[in-house]
Structure 1
Amino acid sequence: MKKNTLSFVLSALCAVTVYADNPAFNWPQFRGPNRDDISKETGLLKEWPADGPKKLWNYTNAGSGYSGFSVVDGHLYTMGTRDGGEILICLDADKGNELWIAKLGNILDNKWGNGPRGTPTVDGDRVYTLSGTGDLVAVQAKDGKELWRTSMESLGGKRPGWGYTESVLVDGNQVVCTPGGPKGAMAALDKMTGKVVWQSDKWTDGAQYSSIVPADINGQRQYIQRSMTNIVGIAAKDGALLWEQPYPGKTAMIPTPIVKGNQVYFASGYGVGSMSFDVEPGNQIKMLYDETGATPNKVMKNHHGGVILLGDKLYGYSDGVGWTCQDFKTGQLVWSEKAKLGKGAISYADGHFYLLEEGSGNVVLIDATPNGWHEISRFKLDPQTSIRSPQGHIWTHPVISNGRMYLRDQDLIFCYAVK
């Protein structure tokens, strides 16, 4: 090999190694580092080949469930089922081989598909995860050794109809979750021991299906969460109820809250729509737009699959409207596109949205722009599972981490090169 060729190859290998191990591109929890489904990676493919980006590997033994991915330091963590129980799975993120599994508890039985729904949360040398039946387990990241466990039932919770779907939050020294119920709908546990630090005894609604978002509003650290009837801000230090805003839902409240500055935004499906308000000093609520009040807003009726705030615009799928861009401040429709792609999940990286259609498995790359739908590339997920419930779809969100895109259809996990 000529000297200049060898130098080029070595440089390229070094670049790949540095990129793959870059902690800035880790994806340690549901919806990424900031729980917003936004990746900060650059240098990704601007378009894909006709048959899609190169498939690097396909793991086939994840079992049932809709659990998403955390990807940290070359390891991929998700949940599934095996041998009559729910499990936490660790894979080599680059090669797809199984490194270890940890047992969680019984399998959630549900007509929409059995198994876990949430995403593991990685914090340092530990992984925290909540099973579909409500077992909260902490394990060592290196080998899956169990460190402690508790249950939502022991915290006074009653499992919601479709199981616990929350992806627990690790914030400082606390693991925060939403068991729901009379002891306190939200609970903070010591992340090292699992002992209860506090429960929100002034907020006792039943658990729904969204995940907590942390925020600093008016100088106060707080956790934003929703129930079927209310949106709340809970003090991070002691679980006090800081503010509560009625938000009547229907059937299920699923999408993750969005917070920017002191503006809080929620969307919901089943015809409900979106609500946004400012939390002003003194924890006073100033309504900006409201799906039930004087300024009803039906622009973003997001059932699930996520809504992303990019700049001052919101993007996601709205039932009856299609893929939608909504103004964050006013709630007004910017654009919508229903014919090009059906309902699904969304993620963002390097100027593009990655869309996964739940019914077909079509994966589409579009420009992230308020100027309308501009499709770049698409391909269809192949193969697709044979074990999915007839009532279920492909509901796991796409994850882009370290130049790779990870997708899941029940027992099948896919890794594609997108750099």
Structure 2
Amino acid sequence: MLAPAADWPHFLGPDRNAVSGETGLVRSFPEEGPPILWEKELEVGFGGCAVVGDEVFIIDRVRSESDLLLCLDAATGKEKWRFENPAEGEPPFPGSRSVPTVEEDAVYFVNAFGRVFRIDRKSHKAVWDVKLDERYDGATPKWGWAQPALVVGDVLIVTPFGEKIGTVGLDKKTGEEIWKSGPIGDSHSSPTVLEFGGEKQVVIISVTDKDGKGGLVTSYRPTDGTVLWQTDLYYNKIPIPIATKVGKDRLFVTGGYDCGSKMLKVENSGDEYKLTELWSADKGSQVHPAFEIDEHLYFLANENSNHKVKSRRQTGGLSCWTLDGKELWNTGDEPFMGRGGMVHADGMLIIQDGENGVLRLVDPSPKGFSMLAEANVFGSDLRKRFDLKYWSPPALSDGRLYMRGQDRLLCIDLRKK
């Protein structure tokens, strides 16, 4: 029986970790593949979906013309309304970047050039917008701003990445500043909400010196921007995945670009926090975060340095690790799965292949790779070995899986009949 439908209201779902509580999902596909309920043509881009009730929200971008926020009917994929804003140039790897953040009365999104919007869900107009480089002398990251707007209570948290101001908290209703914090370099990783020592915290990974290998992991109190702790124990020259909380007091940080991964311990005594390194690994996930499932870690160990070289592809694929840093198995090149996104739901990993969009259902087990089902839902030519850059994070709501393949959005029915 399908569990009550859960909204997917922002980046990586209800708890910002790509984990869904839905059950009653299929564990096999018919020969022709799972039912595709609808398909929506999009411009080229990477922006993923948010789903609230019977509406799907996605950021799109007409190249060099405009940024778009689209609201679609969840049942049919038909457009209900849109918000459009003139483009401000074009970032490298053209197209949208982020995932909208949806609340009852508003939708928030950040475009590739750091303009933050609050859109009224009734009028479909901007209530306010803030340009981070103008207000805070922000510096555009290498491939533009990819971070979603993070809402915690009444505070909307965004990252200017300026020389003097790294992170700010805005009043979500007015856009006025509530707090600001010092520089942290820049990042393509998104701030996320984690809890340590019984305290809700906003944690972000950043890089301060690419040549000198300087990196930071910083934790803020979301209400006032107080830095709760900060460590330079992890470095990645282009951070992208969010940090993953492991157990009560551990933090797994990972990335690509041959910078590997680390497991950190977060200890607190009163108001003081201390971070120590437990172990490190050469492998990492370039785009999407790792999952802790039944005291094991799972991530796609795929990055620039191994996806083009056949001999190195053997080291990648889906990888399973113990919590003390031992790799138990990896799928290598069979299947490799590129820099795709995953959702953990109903005891399965639901994986979108980042190279060709193939959908796979996997039973996560430390005993070895166990694929339950796979389907070429985008109809890709699987004989060709090239990366279609299907890197967008999937979304799952009411048994429907939303997968973006650059210029197409698919709604796939995973509900048992």
Into which bin does the TM-score normalised by the smaller protein fall? 0.7 to 0.9
Q: Distance in 2 between matches of 1:378 and 1:49?
A: 10
CA contact 1:36–1:309 (8 Å) conserved in 2: no
- For 1:335-346, what aligned pairs fall within 5 Å after superposition? 335-342=329-336, 343=338, 344-346=340-342
CA contact 1:176–1:188 (8 Å) conserved in 2: yes
CA contact 2:389–2:406 (8 Å) conserved in 1: no
Q: CA separation of 1:221/1:348 partners in 2, compared to 1, >3 Å: closer, same or farther? A: closer
Q: Does 1:52 pair with 2:46?
A: no
Q: Does 1:199 pair with 2:189?
A: no
Deviations 1:365-393 (A, max 9, x none): 111222211111111133569xxxx9861
Q: Does 1:324 pair with 2:324?
A: no
Pairwise CA distance, 1:348:
1.5
Pairwise CA distance, 1:315:
1.2
Name 1:210's counterpart in structure 2.
189
Q: Distance in 2 between matches of 1:48 and 1:59?
A: 22
Name 1:364's counterpart in structure 2.
360
TM-score, normalised to structure 1, is 0.86
Q: Distance in 1 between matches of 2:17 and 2:236?
A: 24
Q: CA separation of 1:384/1:96 partners in 2, compared to 1, >3 Å: closer, same or farther? A: farther
Aligned Cα root-mean-square deviation (Å): 2.1
Bigger mean CA offset, 33-42 vs 315-324: 315-324
Q: Distance in 2 between matches of 1:187 and 1:287?
A: 28
Name 2:309's counterpart in structure 1.
none
Pairwise CA distance, 1:304:
0.9
Letter in 1 for 2:322: D
Task: Find 1:418's aligned residue among 404, 414, 417.
Answer: 414
Q: Does 1:273 pair with 2:260?
A: yes
List alignment gaps of at least 5 residues for structure 2.
Answer: 208-214, 303-314
Pairwise CA distance, 1:149:
0.7
Q: Distance in 1 between matches of 2:123 and 2:399?
A: 25
- For 1:1-400, what aligned pairs fall within 5 Å after superposition? 22=4, 25-60=6-41, 62-82=42-62, 84-106=65-87, 109-112=90-93, 114-153=94-133, 154-201=135-182, 204-228=183-207, 229-247=215-233, 249-260=235-246, 261-281=248-268, 282-290=272-280, 297-298=281-282, 300-319=283-302, 320-328=315-323, 330-342=324-336, 343=338, 344-383=340-379, 393-400=389-396
Q: CA separation of 1:78/1:287 partners in 2, compared to 1, >3 Å: closer, same or farther? A: same
Partner SS state of residue 49, structure 1: coil
Pairwise CA distance, 1:322:
2.0
TM-score, normalised to structure 2, is 0.87
Letter in 1 for 2:124: G
CA contact 1:279–1:285 (8 Å) conserved in 2: yes
Letter in 1 for 2:196: I
Letter in 2 for 1:307: A
Bigger mean CA offset, 78-87 vs 41-50: 78-87
Q: Distance in 2 between matches of 1:41 and 1:94?
A: 18
Letter in 1 for 2:392: T
Q: Distance in 2 between matches of 1:196 and 1:105?
A: 25
CA contact 1:384–1:409 (8 Å) conserved in 2: no
Letter in 2 for 1:264: L
Partner SS state of residue 227, structure 1: strand
Q: Distance in 2 between matches of 1:369 and 1:108?
A: 46
Pairwise CA distance, 1:105:
4.2
Q: Distance in 1 between matches of 2:199 and 2:7?
A: 27
Q: Distance in 2 between matches of 1:365 and 1:119?
A: 23
Q: Distance in 2 between matches of 1:27 and 1:303?
A: 23
Q: Distance in 2 between matches of 1:145 and 1:197?
A: 23
Q: Distance in 2 between matches of 1:90 and 1:111?
A: 26
Letter in 2 for 1:334: L
Q: Distance in 1 between matches of 2:113 and 2:17?
A: 26
Q: CA separation of 1:207/1:141 partners in 2, compared to 1, >3 Å: closer, same or farther? A: farther
Bigger mean CA offset, 392-401 vs 90-99: 392-401
Letter in 2 for 1:395: W
Pairwise CA distance, 1:241:
1.9
CA contact 2:51–2:397 (8 Å) conserved in 1: yes
Q: CA separation of 1:142/1:95 partners in 2, compared to 1, >3 Å: closer, same or farther? A: farther
Q: Distance in 1 between matches of 2:347 and 2:199?
A: 32
Pairwise CA distance, 1:216:
2.7
Deviant stretches of 4+, over 4 Å: none
Letter in 2 for 1:244: Q
Q: Distance in 2 between matches of 1:88 and 1:107?
A: 15
Q: CA separation of 1:151/1:383 partners in 2, compared to 1, >3 Å: closer, same or farther? A: farther
Q: Distance in 2 between matches of 1:151 and 1:162?
A: 17
List alignment gaps of at least 5 residues for structure 1.
Answer: 1-14, 291-296
Letter in 2 for 1:217: F
Q: Distance in 1 between matches of 2:98 and 2:288?
A: 13
Pairwise CA distance, 1:108:
5.4
